[in-house]
């Protein structure tokens, strides 16, 4: 054999041998054996194989910590309080952790590698979070940019949740998108309809998940959902609910109202629902909610358009939803049992509504919305 052929062969052989050595060393050095995850001061103990990140290892035990980036350390959603020493906080974690979280031992669970026994603290709600295999049963356009998607749960077949909570939709790789991502969507379905999950998904131009739902997803497709998450829910008081939403922010309210009506829950609570849209083409469920208002005395529906054209023949409220809200909270909504604010929409809308509500006497502590949004 001449040298020209032999040279590359020797190099290739050496590289293969080196790779083998690295793999063997990795097996020995990184064999952390069995480690124990102690959750909530001994309440749950999981014996697992060490060496992988905490996030994925917990998921393998059926404990699903929220995640939006699939464990790549880029969403900050997977925070967990670690009570034992697991080494210093990594540079990939610090941008997502506040000084207070750092002081409390909060870490990104996708960045913490399990090398020895570990003790963590998790909110009890996380134990009811499951991963569901589901089939798209319906996929309808409710406006030009919002789809109403109904998923039938195949395995497990039922979800137990409180209206207001959300699930994470697992978006598989497609087109140029090489890795799976997860995105949060509030459930619009009622907890009583436990075999289905309904989501309202607004297209974000260029968005990874919403482009998938709006252009690739079809009836009959199988997807995965993880949930339920979140603590946005109706408070058990007699105070009237002042609810404000725009666009896909309709979802959790649809779930709350139909659930309250079905169970006659919180019977002392009056409900005022302000829904803002730009023009009729952004408005949806109008007839359905007006019907609900006619049938259910404690439900008051105030849809508003900010820019109706004369041809639309709009006979409801007009103006920005914050202005309409202000007119009503000032003197049209009875305050005898107190008021609570419930908000779902963009951060801009939420901030503007909080300003209106607080200057009209609703305490900031009585205004509820998804803090992560």
Partner 1 sequence: MKNTTAEIAAYERMKPGAITAQGFLGDDERALADIIEADLEAWRRAGVDPDDAATFLERLESLGQKGLGEPTVVDGRWTVTVGDARGRLPCPFHDGAFHKNSIEAVDGTNGARVVYSDLSIHLLRRHRFCQGLGSPFRLDPEVVASMMR
List the one residue from 54, 153, 167, 184 that touches partner 1 (CB under 8 A). 184
* Residue 348, binding choice from partner 1, ligand FES, ligand FAD, none, Cβ under 5 to 8 Å by partner class: partner 1
Smallest distance, Å, CB 54 to partner 1?
19
* Residue 71, binding choice from ligand FAD, ligand FES, partner 1, none, Cβ under 5 to 8 Å by partner class: ligand FES
Q: Which residues bind ligand FAD (CB under 6 A)?
A: 166, 183-186, 200-202, 204, 206-210, 230, 248, 251, 370, 372-373
Kind of pairing, strands 299-305 and 271-277?
parallel
Q: Give the DSSP H/E element, type plus range, for residue 350.
A: helix 347-359
Nearer to partner 1, 119 or 188 (CB): 188
> Quick check: 108 binds ligand FES (CB under 6 A)?
yes
What number of H helices and E strands is found in the chain? 8, 17
For residue 224, give every residue at least 6 positions away whose Cβ sits within 8 Å of its Cβ, in sequence order, or none.
131, 132, 133, 134, 169, 170
For residue 218, give every residue at least 6 positions away whose Cβ sits within 8 Å of its Cβ, in sequence order, or none.
136, 139
Interface positions, 17-56, toward ligand FES (CB under 6 A): 55
Peptide bond connecting 228 to the previous residue in cis, omega within 30 degrees of 0? yes
Are 36 and 45 in contact by the 8 Å Cβ rule? The answer is yes
Smallest distance, Å, CB 92 to ligand FES?
8
Helix (H, G, I), strand (E, B) or coil at 298: coil
What's the CA gap between 56 and 64, in Å, rounded? Answer: 8
* Residue 246, binding choice from partner 1, ligand FAD, ligand FES, none, Cβ under 5 to 8 Å by partner class: partner 1
List the one residue from 14, 23, 204, 216 that touches partner 1 (CB under 8 A). 204
Nearer to ligand FES, 195 or 207 (CB): 207
> Quick check: 334 binds partner 1 (CB under 8 A)?
no
List the one residue from 35, 69, 83, 373 that touches ligand FES (CB under 6 A). 69
> Quick check: 88 binds partner 1 (CB under 8 A)?
no
* Residue 67, binding choice from ligand FAD, partner 1, ligand FES, none, Cβ under 5 to 8 Å by partner class: ligand FES
Interface positions, 225-264, toward partner 1 (CB under 8 A): 246
Maximum alpha-carbon separation in the chain: 97
Least Cα distance to 92 among 78, 72, 106 occurs for 72
Nearer to ligand FAD, 252 or 303 (CB): 252
String of b and e for 181-193 (b: at least 16 CB within 10 Å)? Answer: bbbbbbbbbbbeb
> Quick check: 58 binds ligand FES (CB under 6 A)?
no
What's the CA gap between 366 and 305, in Å, rounded? Answer: 27
- Total residues binding ligand FES (CB under 6 A): 13
Binding site for ligand FES (CB under 6 A): 55, 67-69, 71, 73-78, 108, 110
């Amino acid at each position: 054999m001449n040298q020209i052929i032999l040279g590359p062969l020797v190099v290739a052989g050496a590289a293969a041998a080196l790779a083998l050595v690295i793999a063997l060393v990795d097996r020995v050095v990184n064999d952390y054996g069995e480690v124990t995850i102690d959750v909530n001061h001994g309440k749950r103990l999981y014996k697992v194989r060490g060496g992988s990140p905490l996030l994925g290892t917990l998921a393998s035990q059926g404990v699903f910590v929220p995640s939006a980036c699939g464990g790549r350390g880029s969403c900050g959603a997977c925070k967990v309080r670690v009570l034992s020493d697991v080494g210093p906080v990594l540079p990939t974690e610090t941008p997502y952790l506040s000084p207070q979280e750092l002081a409390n031992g909060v870490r990104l669970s996708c960045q913490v590698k399990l090398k020895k026994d570990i003790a963590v603290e998790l909110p009890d709600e996380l134990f009811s979070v499951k991963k569901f295999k589901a089939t798209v049963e319906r996929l309808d356009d409710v406006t030009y940019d919002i789809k109403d998607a109904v998923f039938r749960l195949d395995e497990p077949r039922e979800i137990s949740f409180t209206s207001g909570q959300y699930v994470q939709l697992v978006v598989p790789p497609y087109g140029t998108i090489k890795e799976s991502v997860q995105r949060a969507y509030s459930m619009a379905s009622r907890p009583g309809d436990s075999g289905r999950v309904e989501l309202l998904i607004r297209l974000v131009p260029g968005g990874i998940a919403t482009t998938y739902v709006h252009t690739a997803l079809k009836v009959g497709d199988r997807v995965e959902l993880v949930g339920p998450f979140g603590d946005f829910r109706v408070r058990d008081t007699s105070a009237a609910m002042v609810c404000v939403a725009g666009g896909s922010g309709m979802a959790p309210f649809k779930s709350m109202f139909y659930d309250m009506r079905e169970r006659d829950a919180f019977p002392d609570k009056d409900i005022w629902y302000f829904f803002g849209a730009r023009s009729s083409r952004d408005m949806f469920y109008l007839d359905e909610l007006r019907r609900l208002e006619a049938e259910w005395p404690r439900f008051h529906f105030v849809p508003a358009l900010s820019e109706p054209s004369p041809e639309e023949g709009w006979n409801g409220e007009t103006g920005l939803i914050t202005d309409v809200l202000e007119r009503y909270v000032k003197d049209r909504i009875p305050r005898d049992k107190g008021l609570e604010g419930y908000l779902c929409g963009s951060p801009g809308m939420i901030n503007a509504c909080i300003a209106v509500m607080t200057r009209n006497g609703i305490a900031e502590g009585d205004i509820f919305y998804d803090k992560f949004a």
